[in-house]
């Protein structure tokens, strides 16, 4: 029998990857879709009075099998794809999304939910149950349950088309990154790059059957090259390749963007919303486009002058070193790194020997124990989808099982770029039993080379802290229903647990736990620890404006009110960003054509949430700074009121329970030295 269609006979109910063939997913999707439809019919045809248990709980339980297998497959596709998995995704993604979309348009089911919703105030529901009912009801209303049959069919068709288009968009970016190589012939072509990087580039060439050295668009290869390579023309060549992803003839995403944006607008209009952003924000903490626009404008106003000064500072410094012409985009990382080395006395390469991956990970475990009382133990008997993955069992303060966490750290051709946290199994209660989660952290960090272990940049360290924060949000969940457990929260709240975790990476108390030389074991010099505090503010204005550019571009695409079939993405982007751009526009480049976050990653009309969550985390972390960054009393309050609660209550309520008031902007501006 298909392994996916029977209970997993594994410890902790983990997925037995080695027993699953790719083709098994096809049969599983067919069977589980049919079972889910039968469950839906049973609920709708139930003649008894609608209750929370016989409607919403039964629906959640009935869809759990399909949801878990679909999530598992999607996770595999992003972390370790192949041609077969690509074909399966294209064949079933639309069907599955269409089915889930049809649920929120089912009038018979809505009548039952509507009855529960209208009688909610007179019933004795918990806050979590009220949230589940409210969110479910809003989902029906927002997704067009009251539409006529013709309009429902329109939405269904749009969803199917969007599914295929977003997959195509993502695949174009992935293949563009995977296929591109800058094949350099001599060691001098990498002049300025550290020895470890040259070894890595040589290994990449060997792996591809090429002579010399290979540089790719994967961040661990791309970014150090841009920071250290002294050959300006090679930096320009690599930058142009990165900045034109999804723009070339073979992997052109311009038409995908036009169709995605057009279909999202059509969908929003059919559902009664003026724009896609207006539709999306009904289920966000910010709630309105005006709120987001005001928030972004306030941040631009507060930071743009600082960003201009950052550019002027690096430009002047570059000229002092003989930069042959005006500072260009492909120069900025190089001269910023040089400036940092000279004026801050630190650089990625100075710090890297102190940042061994395994030591950093163990320190994060130790920090989690100090803050939240939890502990981790590596477990090597769990079945894995790739040999590069490692797994740990997580224990609570009293030694009970909390969950399983997977780590997948290094780049490979089958993996999507970037870093993310996801879940193979959600947390929920069933029959009074707490079913614990399985979370996964996937990255593309600097891999080991020859006899040298994986030594991270400090940015990679911060990324690991960030994703681990998401992991804690999933692992510490203590909710009854998957509809609001773990990271299932309003989108602009989901980055709070991850971004607050980044703060500890800079704390001297925490740096002592992991910043040790990988060969000698000697702690990072105190002067570097002090400099890291300064580095946190280094180029902060520039970094803020870059993020605000992305957020502004996202909102511009998704607040359009007119058809966009013939709108040129390159020209549209140029017009939107001309007031924010810190450098002149370069012909042949485009951000939108590889903007996976918004065109294939779920962040449409939501990229602002990174800065929104940064406001929340800066205000929340101020509480730790006030009482002690390792203060367990504050940490346990954060665990109880934020991490355990998932989306069981509105985030404004949860934040206020922890902080004692609504969030304020001042701590964020103060954190980076802005007035």
pLDDT single digits (tens) 29-41: 999 999 999 999 9
Distance, in Å, from the CA atom of 349 to the CA atom of 266, rounded to the nearest integer, reads 50
Strands 433-435 and 390-395: unpaired
CB 392 within 8 A of CB 378: yes
- Alpha-carbon gap, residue 325 to 269, rounded angstroms: 49
Q: How far apart are CA 11 and CA 353, in angstroms?
A: 38
The DSSP code sequence of 390-433 is: EEEEEE-TTS-EEEEEEEE-S--TTS-SS-EEEEEE--EEETTE
The C-alpha atoms of residue 17 and residue 387 are separated, in whole angstroms, by 11
User: Stretch 215-234: mean pLDDT, rounded?
Assistant: 95
How do beta strands 420-425 and 390-395 pair? unpaired
User: What confidence tens digit (pLDDT) does each residue in 311-329 have?
Assistant: 999 999 999 998 877 899 9
Arithmetic mean of pLDDT, 492-515: 96
Residue 42's pLDDT is: 97
> Among the options 60, 93, 204, 467, which is catalytic?
467
| 589 pLDDT more than 80 | yes
Comparing 101 with 44, the larger pLDDT belongs to 44
Choose the weakest-confidence range: 54-63, 97-106, 257-266: 97-106
362 burial class (0-12, 13-18, 19+ CB within 10 angstroms)?
middle
- Those residues with Cβ within 8 angstroms of residue 189's Cβ, 6 or more apart along the chain or in another chain: 212, 213, 231, 234
Structure tokens at 11: 């410890």
The pLDDT confidence band at residue 491, using thresholds 50, 70 and 90, is confident
Collapsing DSSP to helix, strand or coil, 564 comes out as: coil
Q: Give residue 585's pLDDT.
A: 86
Q: Tell me the helix, strand and coil percentages in the chain, rounded to 5.
A: 60, 5, 30
How high is the pLDDT of residue 17? 95
Interatomic CA distance for residues 613 and 224, integer angstroms:
28
Q: How confident is the model at residue 278 (pLDDT cuts 50, 70, 90)?
A: very high
Triad 413, 437, 454: Cα angle to 5°: 40
Alpha-carbon distance of 672 to 540, in angstroms, equals 6
What is d(CA 290, CA 75) in angstroms, rounded to the nearest whole number?
Answer: 35
State the maximum Cα–Cα separation within the chain, in Å, rounded to a whole number: 82
| Residue 358: band (very low, low, confident or very high) from pLDDT cuts 50, 70, 90 | very high
601 — pLDDT class (breaks 50, 70, 90)? confident
What gap in Å lies between CA 288 and CA 26, rounded to an integer? 40
Using 50, 70 and 90 to split pLDDT, how confident is the model at 143? confident
The sheet with strand 401-408 has its strands ordered as 375-378, 390-395, 401-408, 438-442, 420-425
pLDDT grade for 249, boundaries at 50, 70 and 90: confident
Q: In the prediction, which pLDDT does 535 show?
A: 86
Count CB atoms within 10 A of the CB of residue 212.
15
Q: How far apart are CA 141 and CA 401, in angstroms?
A: 39
Q: Is a pLDDT exceeding 90 seen at residue 533?
A: no
Tell me if residue 458 falls in helix, strand or coil: helix
Confidence tier at 563 by pLDDT (50, 70, 90) = confident
- pLDDT at residue 240 is higher than 90: yes
User: How many C-beta atoms lie closer than 10 Å to residue 167's C-beta?
Assistant: 18
| Predicted pLDDT of residue 210 | 96
In this prediction, residue 376 has a pLDDT band, given cuts at 50, 70 and 90, of: very high
Q: How many helices (H) and strands (E) does the chain have?
A: 26, 9
pLDDT digits (tens, 9 = 90+) for 65-96: 999 999 999 999 999 999 999 999 989 988 99
SS3 250: coil
- Which residue ranges make up each domain of the chain? 3-104+106-146, 180-243, 353-540+610-671
Contact between 94 and 29 under an 8 Å Cβ cutoff? The reply is: no
* Predicted local confidence at residue 98, as pLDDT: 87
Q: What integer best gives the mean pLDDT of the chain?
A: 95
> Which residue intervals of 507-592 are DSSP H helices?
508-514, 526-535, 540-558, 569-577
C-alpha closest to that of 235 among 332, 98, 340, 133: 332
Task: Return the SS3 of 602.
Answer: coil
Lowest model confidence (mean pLDDT) among 336-350, 393-407, 454-468, 478-492? 336-350
- The CATH architecture annotation of domain 3-104+106-146 reads Up-down Bundle (1.20)
Measured distance CA(90)–CA(102) in Å, rounded: 19
Number of Cβ within a 10 Å radius of residue 660:
8
pLDDT tens-place string over residues 160-217: 899 899 999 999 999 999 999 999 999 999 999 999 899 999 999 999 999 999 999 9
Q: Which pLDDT score is estimated for 29? A: 97
Query: How would CATH label the architecture of 353-540+610-671?
Result: Orthogonal Bundle (1.10)
CA distance 39 to 59: 7
Q: How confident is the model at residue 599 (pLDDT cuts 50, 70, 90)?
A: very high
Per DSSP, which regions of 80-204 are E strands? 182-184
- Tell me how far apart the alpha carbons of residues 67 and 483 are, in angstroms, rounded to a whole number: 11
Q: What is the pLDDT of residue 556?
A: 97
**Does 393 participate in catalysis according to the annotation?**
no
How many angstroms separate the CA atoms of 163 and 264, rounded? 11
Go through the chain and tell me how many residues it has.
675
Strand partners, 408: 442
């Amino acid at each position: 029998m298909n392994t996916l269609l029977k209970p997993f006979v594994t410890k902790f109910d983990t997925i037995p990857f080695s027993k699953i063939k790719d083709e098994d997913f096809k049969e599983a999707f067919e069977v589980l879709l049919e079972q889910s439809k039968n469950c839906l019919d049973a609920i709708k045809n139930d003649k008894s009075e609608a209750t929370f248990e016989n409607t919403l709980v039964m629906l959640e339980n009935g869809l759990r099998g399909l949801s878990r297998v679909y999530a598992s497959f999607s996770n595999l596709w992003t972390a370790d794809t192949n041609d077969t998995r690509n074909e399966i995704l294209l064949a079933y993604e639309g069907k599955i999304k269409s089915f889930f979309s049809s649920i929120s348009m089912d009038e018979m089911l809505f009548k039952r939910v509507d009855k529960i919703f209208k009688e909610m105030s007179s019933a004795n529901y918990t806050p979590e149950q009220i949230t589940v009912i409210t969110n479910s009801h809003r989902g029906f209303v927002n997704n067009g349950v009251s539409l006529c049959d013709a309009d429902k069919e329109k939405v269904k068709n749009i969803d199917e088309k969007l599914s295929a288009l977003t997959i195509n968009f993502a695949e174009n970016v992935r293949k563009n990154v995977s296929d591109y190589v800058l094949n350099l012939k001599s060691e001098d072509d990498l002049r300025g790059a550290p020895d470890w990087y040259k070894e890595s580039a040589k290994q990449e060439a060997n792996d591809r059957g090429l002579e010399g050295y290979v540089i790719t668009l994967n961040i661990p290869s791309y970014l150090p090259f841009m920071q250290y390579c002294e050959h300006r023309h090679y930096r320009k060549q690599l930058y142009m390749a990165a900045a034109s992803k999804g723009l070339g003839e073979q992997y052109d995403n311009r038409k995908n963007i036009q169709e995605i944006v057009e279909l999202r607008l059509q969908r929003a209009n059919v559902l009664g919303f003026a724009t896609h952003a207006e539709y999306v924000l009904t289920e966000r903490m910010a709630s309105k486009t005006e709120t987001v626009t005001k928030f972004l404008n306030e941040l631009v106003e507060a930071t743009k002058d600082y960003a201009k000064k950052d550019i002027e500072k690096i430009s002047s410094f570059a000229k002092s070193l003989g930069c042959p012409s005006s500072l260009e985009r492909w120069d900025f990382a190089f001269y910023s790194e040089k400036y940092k080395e000279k004026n801050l006395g630190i650089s990625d390469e100075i710090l890297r020997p102190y940042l061994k991956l395994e030591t950093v990970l163990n320190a994060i475990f130790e920090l989690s124990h100090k803050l939240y009382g939890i502990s981790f133990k590596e477990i090597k008997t769990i079945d894995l989808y790739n040999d590069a993955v490692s797994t740990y069992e997580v224990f609570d303060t009293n030694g009970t099982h909390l969950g399983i966490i997977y780590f997948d750290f290094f780049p490979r051709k089958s993996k999507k770029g970037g870093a993310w946290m996801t879940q193979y199994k959600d947390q929920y209660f069933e029959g009074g039993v707490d079913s614990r989660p399985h979370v996964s952290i996937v990255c593309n960090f600097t891999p080991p080379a020859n006899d040298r272990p994986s030594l991270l940049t400090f940015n990679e360290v911060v990324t690991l802290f960030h994703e681990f924060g998401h992991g804690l949000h999933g692992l510490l969940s203590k909710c009854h229903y998957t509809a609001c457990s773990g990271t299932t929260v309003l989108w602009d709240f989901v980055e709070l647990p991850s971004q607050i975790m980044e703060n500890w990476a800079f704390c001297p108390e925490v740096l002592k736990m992991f910043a040790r030389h990988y060969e000698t074991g000697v702690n990072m010099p105190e002067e570097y620890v002090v400099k890291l505090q300064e580095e946190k503010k280094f180029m902060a204005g520039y970094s803020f404006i870059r993020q605000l550019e992305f957020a502004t571009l996202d909102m511009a695409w998704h607040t359009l009110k007119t058809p966009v079939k013939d709108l040129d993405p390159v020209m549209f982007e140029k017009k939107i960003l001309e007031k924010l751009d810190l450098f002149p526009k370069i012909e042949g480049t485009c951000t939108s054509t590889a903007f996976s976050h918004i065109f294939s990653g779920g962040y449409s009309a939501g990229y602002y949430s990174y800065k929104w969550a940064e406001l929340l985390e800066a205000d929340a972390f101020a509480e730790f700074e006030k009482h002690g960054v390792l203060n367990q009393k504050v940490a346990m309050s954060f665990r109880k009121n934020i991490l355990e609660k998932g989306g069981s209550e509105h985030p404004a309520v949860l934040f206020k329970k922890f902080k004692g008031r609504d969030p304020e902007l001042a701590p964020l501006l103060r954190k980076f030295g802005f007035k």
